[in-house]
Structure 1
Amino acid sequence: MRPLLLGVLCCSLVLPVRAFYSAGDDVVELTPSNFNKEVLQSDSLWLIEFYAPWCGHCQSLTADWKKVATALKGIVKVGAVDADQHKSLGSQYGVRGFPTIKIFGANKNKPEDYQGGRGNQAIVDGAMNLLRTLVKDRMSGKYGSSSSNKQQSGGGGGGSKQDVVELTDDNFDKMVLEGDTVWLVEFFAPWCGHCKSLEPEWAAAASAVKEQTKGKVRLGAMDATVHQAVSGRYGIRGFPTIKIFRKGEEPEDYQGGRTRGDIIERALDLFSDHAAPPELLEILNKDILTKTCEDSQLCVIGFLPHILDTGAAGRNGYLKVMMQMAEKYKKKTWGWLWIEAGAQMELEASLGIGGFGYPAMAAINARKMKFALLRGSFSETGIHEFLRELSVGRGSTATLGGGTMPKIHTVEPWDGKDGELPEEEDYDLSDVDLDDNMSKTEL
């Protein structure tokens, strides 16, 4: 299947927030609660838009997306996911910018990126081409129905049972209680119907969670009818029972939904709660700035006074404030950087930093080449208000000077010490006859 062209778009920082679709539209609103049933267990071809309410390009697409859904009604399913609210679904399918359109075709477990034109006619034409290809493949026997695929894969697919850790009375304490990993543990009984229904969802979620948290959150399963020592210790009476285990804390009951989307969403919340804050890096060269800003939704840059103006204690105070804010906003995909005032004059000029004094702060959206400046105090309260406004799509922004990142010079890292004034050069005045020179000058 040849992909069409629609680049992933990233949106401006300042945009109003509003609801996109209603029950009266032909666009199906998808959430972690209904995604499995509506999409993954469906025989239909789906086009799904992953959007954020604050995204200007998403707002522009809304009217066309509704027209597409109406035109394709009964032929191709058209859905939408608020990926800002339902981050688990966006993360599960690798969504990094908005709007992103995914094609869920013959193999629902491996959706493709739709990369075609954004106009309603272009999308409809692309969908019909995809549909013809799908029908042709089915006629040739390449793909059966999604229901037959589910039977082959053991109920919906999308994950490997190998990613669900089998827990026993013998390995439970060492693996779950003594390690640093956060665990979601399902206590089940082989004869339990609800446990059998949960099994493919648990397996799919286990694979996604393992990958997205790099193994920091894991899903396990214990046959409570066999391993009664551990299940008795935690008072397991019904099946399936899911508990959350964090090192050094009492286990808590899992209260969320039982679809893979629900489970993934809760696991990612647990991961974020226990994740280390992002590293605060000094801008020493072009690579540090480029990588941090390109890999992040926003990169937050502190411009700190010269070391001679603050000393080590003053600078460390400013860095502490920035690290505290990085901790507060660690769930955001933001990068955090700092630089000494005057070290990167081209960068300061492109942001218009000079007129505000130091310390100063800028937040840059590298994909849109937009930035915002901190107007309040360089304090927890001032920075929090600045970042909170940006995170909800408010605040004043401007285009980065020249529309590109400025030249970045390679500089030496701060050594953590107080600054030293440059030594003045000593001059030997022993051979200078001041009286003679003065008399000649007077003449």
Structure 2
Amino acid sequence: MESLVGLVVCSLLLAVQGLYSPSDDVVELNASNFNREVMQSDSLWLIEFYAPWCGHCQRLTPDWKKAATALKGVVKVGAVDADQHKSLGGQYGIRGFPTIKIFGANKNKPEDYQGGRTSQAIVEAALSGVRSLVKDRMAGKTGGSDHGWQSGGGGSGSKKDVVELTDDNFDQLVLDGEEVWLVEFFAPWCGHCKNLEPEWAAAATDIREQTKGKVRLGAVDATVHQGLSSRYGVRGFPTIKIFRKGEEPEDYSGGRSRSDIVSRALDLYSDNSPPPELLEIISEDTLKKTCEDYQLCIIAVLPHILDTGAAGRNGYLEVMMKMAEKYKKKMWGWLWTEAGAQMELESALGIGGFGYPAMAAINARKMKFALLKGSFSETGIHEFLRDLSMGRGSTATVGGGALPKIYTVQPWDGKDGELPTEDDIDLSDVELDDLERDEL
């Protein structure tokens, strides 16, 4: 039965929608307007990436609004609900809330704001940024980026991350390579291509970093390499196609902003990546690394091997692996342990009252967890994880407010368990009188 406290916490979390309204001087930013408002702007921007449930964000809100009003007409002040617009948060490597970034002259390389969280400190940092921006302009420094792979210009920034594809290297890199490719076919005289160029270049760097090079962005000058253009039926510019090894190319039909391109690339990356590894908790490092590296870590506590045997345990692990595959786009961590092996972990998560197998999902950043209340089956776990994805279900604080102590144990050898052996005692040579005297 859900506790009243859990229900109240859940209700409060769901009730918090956003921290800013249209009547505020804070500009609400999202994936649809970010490129237009920020990336194509000459203004200096201070942008807060927040989550509505974040207590620190809620405390910052009045100061952020006050700073926005004071800086109105001088510096743009914006806010992104990174919990709702995850693609933007992922694009800028947001790992905690609130995170504040300064988008100055070079919008493709925002700086982290390290100052105080009062309105006075925020305003002073903004004015300092404006002075630096004006000083650079007076010195003839634009600070912008010239991603000139099309014209061969010197440029700086991320042009190096867009691979120039030609008749000579296309098959080797794109068709025979293991990576997934997004390839732009362009013409140097094309106005739409020139507009896409900085977006494509900036996205290339983000995608290389976030997919560890598994998804690449390339560009083909179709006026020079007409054979490639003809081979893939390119009739207009820019044309973007998706290439996966061994498959027919697919037309890209998404948006042309940096965030749109990054979002599609991350989907391609997750579609073509293997499911996350299912690890047994055998040491403190196993738990700590998994739970701290991922947004959620899903932990199963399976019955003792003597209760299930190898076949039964493998059945539970198979269910978990299927669910890890189903939810691999979430990039969650997956762990398991045997009942009784990590008692402090079980106690911190309130496991034990529901029997085994049991499952919990931990958010190590918030030190919150949720318990599987349904069946340990594909259907039951799917419903549990689906509710978590949608922000539903009751949560509680991890016991002690920190990850519990983990004991180092031997990993399971994949075999059936064996009962402990007992030494046989031979009583044939012992006289009954001797036993009776010993008892006395």
Q: 1:287 to 1:71 in 2, by over 3 A?
A: same
CA distance in 1, matches of 2:344, 2:275: 29
User: After the TM superposition, which of the residue ranges 67-76 and 196-205 deviates more from structure 2?
Assistant: 67-76
Gaps of 5+ in 1: 1-11
1:176-213 per-position Cα deviation (integer Å, ceiling 9, x unaligned): 12222111111111222221222222111112111111
Are the counterparts in 1 of residues 105 and 143 from structure 2 also a CA contact under 8 Å? no
Equivalent position of 1:216 in the other structure: 214
Equivalent position of 2:33 in the other structure: 34
CA distance in 2, matches of 1:375, 1:152: 55
Q: What amino acid maps onto 1:364 in structure 2?
A: I
CA distance in 2, matches of 1:71, 1:20: 19
Q: Residue 97 of structure 2 aligns to a residue in which SS?
A: coil
Gaps of 5+ in 2: 1-8
CA distance in 2, matches of 1:438, 1:262: 85
Equivalent position of 2:4 in the other structure: none
CA distance in 1, matches of 2:125, 2:269: 37
Equivalent position of 2:79 in the other structure: 80
Equivalent position of 1:129 in the other structure: 124
1:50-99 per-position Cα deviation (integer Å, ceiling 9, x unaligned): 13355555456555544443343212211122323433321221101233
Equivalent position of 2:3 in the other structure: none
Are the counterparts in 2 of residues 343 and 411 from structure 1 also a CA contact under 8 Å? yes
Q: 1:127 to 1:418 in 2, by over 3 A?
A: same
Q: Residue 331 of structure 1 aligns to a residue in which SS?
A: helix
Q: Residue 203 of structure 2 aligns to a residue in which SS?
A: helix
Q: 1:330 to 1:349 in 2, by over 3 A?
A: same
Runs of 4 or more off by more than 6 Å in structure 1?
Answer: 438-443
Q: 2:196 aligns with which of 195, 198, 215?
A: 198
CA distance in 1, matches of 2:138, 2:302: 62
Q: 1:315 to 1:199 in 2, by over 3 A?
A: same
* Aligned-residue offset at 1:21: 4.1
CA distance in 1, matches of 2:190, 2:385: 48
Equivalent position of 1:102 in the other structure: 101
CA distance in 2, matches of 1:442, 1:55: 68
Identity across matched positions, percent: 75
CA distance in 1, matches of 2:427, 2:282: 42
Aligned residues: 425
* Aligned-residue offset at 1:360: 0.5
Q: 1:390 to 1:144 in 2, by over 3 A?
A: farther
Are the counterparts in 1 of residues 304 and 339 from structure 2 also a CA contact under 8 Å? yes
Are the counterparts in 1 of residues 82 and 88 from structure 2 also a CA contact under 8 Å? yes
CA distance in 2, matches of 1:330, 1:247: 21
* Aligned-residue offset at 1:226: 2.2
1:187-246 per-position Cα deviation (integer Å, ceiling 9, x unaligned): 111222221222222111112111111111001111222222222121111111111111
Question: Under a length normalisation based on structure 1, what TM-score does the superposition of the two structures give?
Answer: 0.87
User: After the TM superposition, which of the residue ranges 169-178 and 310-319 deviates more from structure 2?
Assistant: 169-178
Alignment RMSD (CA, Å): 2.8
Q: Residue 50 of structure 1 aligns to a residue in which SS?
A: strand
CA distance in 1, matches of 2:140, 2:386: 44
CA distance in 1, matches of 2:39, 2:352: 54
Are the counterparts in 2 of residues 42 and 146 from structure 1 also a CA contact under 8 Å? no
Are the counterparts in 2 of residues 299 and 334 from structure 1 also a CA contact under 8 Å? yes
Are the counterparts in 1 of residues 147 and 197 from structure 2 also a CA contact under 8 Å? no
Q: 1:102 to 1:442 in 2, by over 3 A?
A: closer
Question: Under a length normalisation based on structure 2, what TM-score does the superposition of the two structures give?
Answer: 0.88
